[in-house]
Amino acid sequence: MSQRKENEPQSAINPFKTAQRQLDEAAAVMELDSAAHELLRWPSRELHVTLPVKMDNGKTKIFHGFRVQYNDARGPNKGGIRFHPDETIDTVRALGAWMTWKTSVMDIPLGGGKGGIICDPKSMSAGELERLSRAYIRQVGGILGPKKDIPAPDVYTTPQIMAWMADEYSMMQGNNEFGVITGKPLALGGSAGRGDATARGGIYCVRDAADELGIDIKGKTAAIQGYGNAGSFAHKLAVELLGMKVVAVSDSKGGIYNPDGLWYENVLAHKAQTGSVAGFPEAEYISNEALLELDVDVLFPSALEEVITGNNAQRVKAKIIAELANGPTTPEADDILYKNGCYVIPDFLCNAGGVTVSWFEMVQNSYGYYWEEDEVHKRLEKKMKTAFSAVHKASRKYGVHNRLGAYIVAIERVAEAMKLRGWY
């Protein structure tokens, strides 16, 4: 498979320009200092790496990767590592910016970063993935560390990949440094409750949004675009915690729809057997595009960026959109959804459960004592509720949609830290 070069666009919409536009809009509302505004429009630093990896056929293949450290005014950089054939530096920059806002809106003492490698992990063996993971850490390890930059899993990376990376970094340091990576297996210092944390945080937000809107969420319908970690757990927890009925789910190969509801265990078993939710016998086919426009109470965009745009936002009927993906909604779509009365829970609030429990993992790593899963859930619920309330109040105070409200909360905190440190 040919690799996309870093300067080729992933789509017609550049995600980093989207992130900058969102920042610009919030900065105007806030009347943010011009120097602080310009400083926040760009990554503090970024590293581009070239990775030679010996493949199973004996040939050496060259991969390209990135690590962006967007802003560390509030603490060490934090952000996932993605393996994707269409990865671009601008996607990584945008995600690093969103991670900065995410840790800030959650009031976690961390900054934001992101990493990525241009590769097709689905076509690679476990041995090739391990060699690629270790090669990446050898190149970027100099800028990583528990007090500098702490990666985590993201698109197509797993706890096993994190374990290889943590081991490689530890070998480089000459001692165990498992705290350099979060999202690790429990046996290597992972945290209980990390597996479903992204979805669980989003579910807590949906419950709070329904309360604000006066909606009795029990028995209401949901559709989920994307059935990876976040999307599949959203299915499970929407039913278990909220009593909702999930009528449609999809992945990259297509979607399934059943107005009577889909059983999580059956859909998960089908995907495990076939590699996709598509073709599930107890439902009819639905496209990813049509799923977004279903007449449901809650829509969970849980796949990749820029799926709700100015072209289709007018047809979105959901009352609540819970963004478990990063950047699924464009600025044009935000305006349309807001005018139509759709309550959007923005990505860097809605999907912040993952980084919050990653922070819990860092805390537990640092003092060598690990919490029970119930304790993790209670602490996560409290953090999500506090952050949701701050965003909701800011959006109402300024008369703006929730994404702008979230930006205002996050930017105020980062700008204050930069000013106190004398950066502007």
What residues are labeled active site? Answer: 114
Concatenating the DSSP letter of every residue in 266-290 gives HHHHHHHHHSSSTT-TTSEEE-HHH
Give the relative orientation of helices 353-367 and 89-105 as an angle to the nearest 10 degrees.
Answer: 70
Scored b (16 or more CB within 10 A) or e, 39-50 reads: bbeebbebeebe
Six token digits for residue 74: 């509030």
DSSP strand E in 5-59: where?
45-54
Cβ-in-10-Å burial (0-12, 13-18, 19+) of 379 comes to middle
Concatenating the DSSP letter of every residue in 126-146 gives HHHHHHHHHHHHHHHGGG-BT
In 3D space, the residue among 231, 289, 330, 250 whose CA is nearest the CA of residue 12 turns out to be: 330
Q: Measure the CA angle with vertex 13, ends 11 and 15; round to 5°.
A: 100
Q: Three-state DSSP class for 87?
A: coil
Taking the CA atoms of the chain, what radius of gyration do you get in angstroms?
20
Q: How far is the first Cα of the chain from the last one, in angstroms, to the nearest whole number?
A: 46
Separation CA 44–CA 303 (nearest Å) = 28
Distances (CA, A) of 174 to 168, 177, 242, 290, 355: 10, 9, 47, 53, 27
Separation CA 363–CA 357 (nearest Å) = 10
Phi, psi at 255, each rounded to 5°: -130, 170
Q: Three-state DSSP class for 377?
A: helix
Separation CA 321–CA 343 (nearest Å) = 6
**Which residues touch 369 (CB under 8 Å, ≥6 apart)?**
none
Separation CA 342–CA 98 (nearest Å) = 22
